[in-house]
Structure formats: C-alpha cells, structure tokens
Amino acid sequence: MSTNIEKDEVTGTETTGHDWDGIKELNNPVPRWWVYILYATIIYSVVYWVLYPAWPTPDGGTKGVLGWTQHGELSVAMEEAKAAQAGFLARIAKTEVQAISSDGDLLNFALAGGRAAFGDNCAPCHGSGAQGFVGYPNLNDDHWLWGGTVEEIYTTIRYGIRARHGDTRESEMPAFGRDEILTKDEIGLVADHVLSFTGTGKSSAAAAELFADNCSACHGEKGEGDTDQGAPRLNDALWLYGGERATIVETVSKSRAGVMPAWESRLDDAAIKSLAVYVHSLGGGQ
C-alpha cells in the first residue's frame, strides 16, 4: 500500500494516499454532527470518571464522588426484595404448616422459597432433584421413614434425626451381628424372611420366628414398618441401603443410623415451613 497523497481531479479533494488495486479514497472531512457526538462521548466519559469508580490505583481505585458501588446497588436490591417478601414470610410464620396449601398465593410463595432453600441446604445429601442417594432417602417417593404428612415432614426438618437436639427423632436398631445378638446363620435366615415379604426370598418357620422375636416390635409382623419409630417398611420395593440379600445381611449385622441435622438452629420457622411444603409437594406427600 503506497502513500501517495494526490489531488483528485474531479472533486478537487485530496486522497488519503491509500491505494487498493487502483481504487483510491478521497480524504473528505467527517460530518459535523458526527464529530459533536464524539466530543459528547468524551465529555460523558470525563463526567463518568468523576462520578463513578473508574481508574485503578495501587490501593484499589478511584471511588467517584457519588459513592456508587455494585455491592451497594446489590444490597439495596436485596433489601427491596426482602421487604417485598416480608409480608409473605410473616404470614407463613403465623400459619400452621398444614394450612399453607389452602391459600394459593401463600402456597406458591412457600413452594418457591422451599425450592430455593432446598437447593441451599438439602441438596448436598438428598440431591438437587431430591432423588436421594444410598443412605439418604429419595423424597419424591411415597416411602417415609418418619411419616409423609406435611406436619411430620416439618417436625423431621425442624428437629432432625438423631441430631443434637432435645426433641430430635431418635431410634436405634441393634447391631445384631456386631453385638452378637444373632449368629451369622440366624442373620441370613432373617434376611431371607425380609426378602420373602416382597416375594424375592424364601422364608422358613425358623426364620419367621427369628423375625418375630427380634424385628417385628419395630418393623411390624409383616414388615409394614412404623413411622413413629423411624422403622422402615420392609415389604415394599424401596430400599434405603439396597435390597440385595448381602446388603440386608450387612444392615442387620451392623445396624444403620442415618443422621439429619436439626434445622431449627440454622433456618427460621418460615423457611422450615416452606421446605416442608416443598418436600410434601414433590409427589409422595401424604
């Protein structure tokens, strides 16, 4: 690209001196209005530097005379959001947990709040979709250890299970193997009897007797469970730790005692109620 600035014969204007395959560009001036806009943007930027945080300095940056910060804007927005929620939260705190679902607006607010609180507090163990993991119950299904009504769910969340709280849900299954209550063979028979409830194992009179003596007090004659004691149903298709014979043998031998914190000390009552309503709505609520 050569730089031969020359005068264009036709227009009398100088060229820029740039030459693209014989095409030359006239060095016509820029329109005034365009230049004014450029000046306006320059003035704007200077005003902006004065008013708002702009230039980095060794100790952070210029602050701007308005004192505006993104943090400040966020906290104002958060305050506004909190103020907007305050009315609903107060109503939820005043309402009995089982009565929330009868008020459509309150229900929607509680569901949305419950979903958010679930993601923040419950998802690490129960999964983001409340689908659970081995040892952590799936909250979508209709199998409840401590009861599936909204009040029972509320109590469970509030006081926890085997948590450090005076009102926590407490129960203990003996470790039949470790504590030498039953022999290995007997535990095998019990496992067979448990599996027979769902038709996947073969029981015997001896096994039935062992179950009746050691297990039925909590789990029921036919393995129907007892939500008052957190004793799971054994005659359905759902297993918290696994329904294979080996797993059941392990469970009976070593016992299981899952722990859930008491959320009373960490969340306020409205949040716990919202969580209970949300969990109850997932499809398995009774």
Partner 1 sequence: MSSSADQSIRLFADRTRVYPKAVKGYFRRLKWLSLWLLLGVYYLAPWLRWDRGEGAPGQALLIDMPARKAYFFFIEIWAQEVYYLTGVLIIAAIALFFATAVAGRVWCGFACPQTVWTDLFMWVERKIEGDRAARMRRDQGPVTISRISKKLAKHVTWLLIALATGGAWVFYFNDAPTLLVELVLGRGSFTVYSFIFGFTASTYLMAGWAREQVCTYMCPYARFQGAMIDDDSLIVSYDTGRGEPRGAYRKGETWDGRGHCVSCRQCVVVCPTGIDIRDGQQLECIGCGLCADACDGVMEKLNLASGLVRFDTLSNLNAQARGETPHYKFFRPRTIVYSLILVIVGMAMLAALMLRSETSVSVLRDRNPLYVKLSDGSIRNGFTFKVLNMKRQQKSFDLSLSGIEGARMTVIGQAKKPVARVSLSVRPDQVGTYRVFVHAPAGSLPSESQSLRFVLVDRLLNITTTHQTTFRGPPAR
- Residue whose CB is less far from partner 1, 128 or 204: 128
Count residues near partner 1 (CB under 8 A).
30
Q: Does residue 284 touch partner 1 according to CB under 8 A?
A: yes
Applying the rule CB under 8 A, the residues between 137 and 196 that interact with partner 1 are 138, 140-143
Residues numbered 190 to 249 that lie near partner 1 (CB under 8 A) are 233, 236-238
Crossing angle between the packed helical segments 205-214 and 184-196, to the nearest 10 degrees: 100
Check: CB of residue 133 under 8 Å from CB of residue 140: no
Residue position matching structure tokens 């230049």:
35
To partner 1, the closest distance from the beta carbon of 27 in angstroms equals 7
Q: Which helix (H) or strand (E) holds 15?
A: strand 15-20
User: From the CB of 128, what's the least distance to partner 1, in Å?
Assistant: 6
16 vs 69, beta carbon nearer partner 1: 16
Do the beta carbons of residue 147 and residue 250 sit within 8 Å? no
Half-sphere exposure of 24 (CA within 13 A, CB side): 18
Binding mask 105-134 for partner 1 (x = CB under 8 A): ----------------------xxxxx---
Contact, 15 vs 5, CB < 8 A?
yes
Distance in angstroms (rounded) separating the CA atoms of residues 80 and 85: 9
Query: In 3D, which of 284, 267, 269, 286 has the Cα closest to residue 117?
Result: 267
> In the complex with partner 1, which residue's Cβ is closer, 101 or 174?
101
Q: Which is nearer to partner 1, 13 or 45 (CB)?
A: 13
CA atoms within 13 A on the CB side of 42: 6
Q: Looking at beta carbons only, is 17 or 53 nearer to partner 1?
A: 17
State which of positions 2-41 bind partner 1 (CB under 8 A).
5, 14, 16-17, 27-35
Residue numbers at the binding site for partner 1 (CB under 8 A): 5, 14, 16-17, 27-35, 127-131, 138, 140-143, 233, 236-238, 281, 283-284
